[in-house]
């Protein structure tokens, strides 16, 4: 695409900057390309360079990443106090857009996996949550929706002042509130009900993902683990204990993928609090009958539990009534209370 090359040459190429880095190892791969640990020859510091795939769509979206992140860094977090990754530079190299960032540590998913997926200590859950929330207050204030909050996009790093710091990275899917373009966003386990159901979305979708991450930090595995959007939505309803509000279901574009319109006096859905709602979620059999053409995917089975029993009685947490120290019990109740505010179907709340 000659326009593209011209644009790169005229606006972006900064020979000095792209010659400074020596690639030492690959840190990660993602949808957008690869991230390499590089040494800055002039300063001898390490930086992380994201090398974007050289396709126009990725290039365009990555320019959005550059512009939103530089706005966040410069205007909304000038002193690097709010746990958002710092962008150092961007340049073109062999027709690839490259973005360099401060070098951070491993991602939260790697940390959870290292821990045998048993979850982190409450102390860390609290500290990390507070830091991520701090970042989200800033992004919300800037009118920016991250759109892909998940453990892989939270990096853990050792900091001289505080003990362990976390930072939010990867604004590669981010957009401005009120200028939302894409409907297929967020990673499935962290996808908000309004995105699944096809309802206009706001910065509130990041708050939903944040709730999912907080729960996962404590229990060690995704709260809404599901092999399909249907599974994820079903699990949300089980855990929250109610289905999404009727107003949302009425206006959302995808409601009929998941719900049957059954009139206004349906007697309730398997114990879910849908009494009086004109909508009933399709049963698994109904969905399977519809999708019998599609190949079957493996499913994870979970006992049905509500959030409080899930958090306070998760098997490997050994937190059964009785053997729970008073301090931990109070912490669990506080965590559930906190999560209830985040795992909320009504985006306005």
Q: Which stretch binds ligand ADP (CB under 6 A): 165-173, 198-206, 218-226, 282-290?
A: 165-173
> Binders of Mg ion: how many residues, by CB under 5 A?
3
How far apart CA 144 and CA 136 sit, in angstroms, is 9
| 87-93 and 96-102 beta bridge pairing | antiparallel
**Choice between 102 and 308, CB closer to ligand ADP:** 102
**Choice between 31 and 283, CB closer to ligand ADP:** 31
Residue 13 has, within 13 A of its CA and on its CB side, a CA count of 11
CA torsion, ordered 342, 83, 68, 185, to nearest 10 deg: -40
Q: How far is the CB of 196 from ligand ADP (least distance, A)?
A: 21
Q: What is the DSSP letter of 162?
A: S
How far apart CA 34 and CA 13 sit, in angstroms, is 19
> Among residues 17, 18, 35, 223, which is the contact residue for ligand ADP, using CB under 6 A?
35
> Among residues 30, 143, 198, 241, which is the contact residue for Mg ion, using CB under 5 A?
30
Quick check: 109 and 137 in contact, CB under 8 A? no
Look up 331 and say whether it is catalytic. no
Residues 48-67 that bind ligand ADP (CB under 6 A): 48, 50
CA torsion, ordered 253, 256, 261, 266, to nearest 10 deg: -110
How far apart CA 124 and CA 11 sit, in angstroms, is 43
Residues 74-103 that bind ligand ADP (CB under 6 A): 85, 101-103
Residue 19 has, within 13 A of its CA and on its CB side, a CA count of 4
Residue 110 contacts Mg ion per CB under 5 A: no
Residue 32's binding partner out of ligand ADP, Mg ion, none, with CB under 5 to 8 Å set by partner kind: ligand ADP
Q: Is 50 annotated as a binding residue?
A: yes
Residue 31's binding partner out of Mg ion, ligand ADP, none, with CB under 5 to 8 Å set by partner kind: ligand ADP
**Residue sitting closest to ligand ADP (CB):** 30
- The 146-185 site mask, x for binding Mg ion (CB under 5 A), equals -------x----------------x---------------
Structure tokens at 247: 């107003």
Query: Residue 252 contacts by C-beta under 8 Å, 6 or more apart in sequence?
Result: 194, 197, 198, 199
**Residue sitting closest to Mg ion (CB):** 170
Q: How far is the CB of 30 from Mg ion (least distance, A)?
A: 4
CA torsion, ordered 283, 284, 288, 291, to nearest 10 deg: 80
Catalytic residue among 148, 170, 231, 331: 148
Quick check: 145 and 176 in contact, CB under 8 A? yes
Structure tokens at 330: 């109070």
Residues 216-235 that bind ligand ADP (CB under 6 A): none
Quick check: 239 and 305 in contact, CB under 8 A? yes
Q: Please give the positions annotated as active site.
A: 148
Binding residues vs ligand ADP (CB under 6 A): 27-28, 30-32, 35, 48, 50, 85, 101-104, 107, 152-153, 155, 169-170, 172
Interface contacts to Mg ion, rule CB under 5 A: 30, 153, 170
């Amino acid at each position: 695409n000659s326009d593209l090359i011209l644009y790169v040459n005229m606006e972006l190429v900064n020979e000095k900057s792209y010659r400074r880095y020596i690639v030492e190892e690959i840190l990660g791969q993602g949808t957008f390309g690869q991230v390499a640990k590089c040494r800055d020859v002039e300063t001898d510091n390490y930086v992380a360079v994201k090398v974007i795939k050289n396709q126009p769509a990725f290039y365009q979206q990555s320019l959005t990443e550059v512009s939103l992140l530089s706005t966040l860094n410069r205007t909304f977090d000038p002193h690097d106090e709010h746990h958002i990754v710092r962008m150092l530079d961007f340049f073109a190299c062999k027709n690839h857009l490259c973005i360099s960032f401060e070098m951070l540590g491993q991602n939260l998913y790697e940390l959870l996996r290292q821990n045998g997926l048993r979850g982190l200590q409450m102390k860390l859950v609290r500290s990390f949550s507070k830091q991520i929330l701090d970042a989200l207050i800033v992004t919300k204030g800037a009118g920016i929706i991250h759109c892909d909050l998940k453990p892989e996009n939270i990096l853990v790093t050792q900091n001289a002042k505080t003990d362990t710091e976390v930072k939010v990275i990867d604004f590669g899917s981010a957009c401005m509130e009120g200028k939302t373009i894409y409907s297929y966003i967020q990673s499935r386990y962290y996808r908000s009900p309004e995105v699944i159901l096809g309802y206009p979305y706001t910065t509130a979708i990041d708050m939903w993902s944040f709730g999912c991450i907080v729960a996962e930090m404590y229990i060690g595995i995704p709260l809404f683990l599901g092999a399909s959007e249907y599974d994820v939505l079903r699990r949300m309803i089980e855990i929250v204990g109610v289905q999404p509000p009727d107003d949302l279901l009425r206006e959302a574009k995808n409601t009929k993928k998941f719900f049957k319109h059954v009139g206004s006096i349906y007697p309730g859905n398997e114990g879910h609090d849908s009494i009086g709602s004109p909508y009933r979620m399709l049963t698994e059999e109904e969905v399977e009958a519809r999708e019998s053409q599609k190949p079957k995917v493996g499913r994870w089975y979970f006992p049905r539990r509500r959030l409080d029993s899930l958090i306070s009685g998760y098997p490997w947490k050994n937190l059964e009534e009785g053997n729970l120290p008073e301090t931990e019990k109070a912490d669990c109740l506080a965590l559930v209370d906190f999560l209830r505010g985040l795992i909320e179907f009504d985006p306005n709340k």
